[in-house]
Amino acid sequence: MNIRLCTKEELPLILKMSEVFATEGCCNGIVPDTMDDLLENEIYVAEEAGEILGYAYGSAETASRKRWFILPGTKNFYVEVIYVKPEHRSREVGRKLYKRLENRAKELGCGTMEVIAVSKSYQKLLHFYIDELGLEFFTAHLMKKI
């Protein structure tokens, strides 16, 4: 499996995958990516035997104010999307995509990674980010329809 930058020709495929992601029902509040979202970011894909198994992207921003332990003037990398097709999950594709983003964040001079995790399978998600990838638990945003 190869983790690499997505080509411009592959962007329509990523848009389709993003639409499937939004309708899969695995996460709350997912809105499909637009072509502008994709063009504005470096999109990484996991590819195997000519098939794109998943994609990920995020962006580096310099903080303008203190937020938790992110200090003004320091760079933070915000993970926007990590998505792996259901039939390829639990094969470390997501882990490799995340690691590529983290390495890119380091190259860009970021001192922190930030993920707002939205999967309904939150126990699995916490296992993925905390146990497998070494992020720290920071906050929980809970809601209930009444």
Ligand X SMILES: CC(C)(COP(=O)(O)OP(=O)(O)OC[C@H]1O[C@@H](n2cnc3c(N)ncnc32)[C@H](O)[C@@H]1OP(=O)(O)O)[C@@H](O)C(=O)NCCC(=O)NCCS
Residues that bind ligand X (CB under 6 A): 26-27, 82-84, 89-95, 115, 117-119, 121, 124-125, 127-128, 132
Q: Which is nearer to ligand X, 70 or 117 (CB)?
A: 117
Distance in Å, CB of 12 to ligand X, minimum: 20
Provide the minimum distance between the beta carbon of 86 and ligand X in the complex, in angstroms, as a whole number: 8
Q: How far apart are CA 70 and CA 29, in angstroms?
A: 26
CB of 73 to ligand X, least distance (A): 27
Least distance from ligand X to the Cβ atom of residue 123, Å: 8
Shortest distance, position 146 Cβ to ligand X, whole Å? 26
DSSP 4-55: EEPPGGGHHHHHHHHHHHHHH-SBTT-----HHHHHTSPPEEEEETTEEEEE
Total number of residues shown for the chain = 146
Q: Which long-range contacts (CB under 8 A, 24 or more apart) does 111-115 make?
A: 111/70, 111/74, 111/75, 111/76, 112/69, 112/70, 112/74, 112/75, 112/76, 112/77, 113/76, 113/77, 113/79, 114/70, 114/76, 114/77, 114/78, 114/79, 115/78, 115/79
> Residue 56 or residue 70: which is nearer to ligand X going by CB?
56
**Residue showing the smallest CB distance to ligand X in the complex:** 94
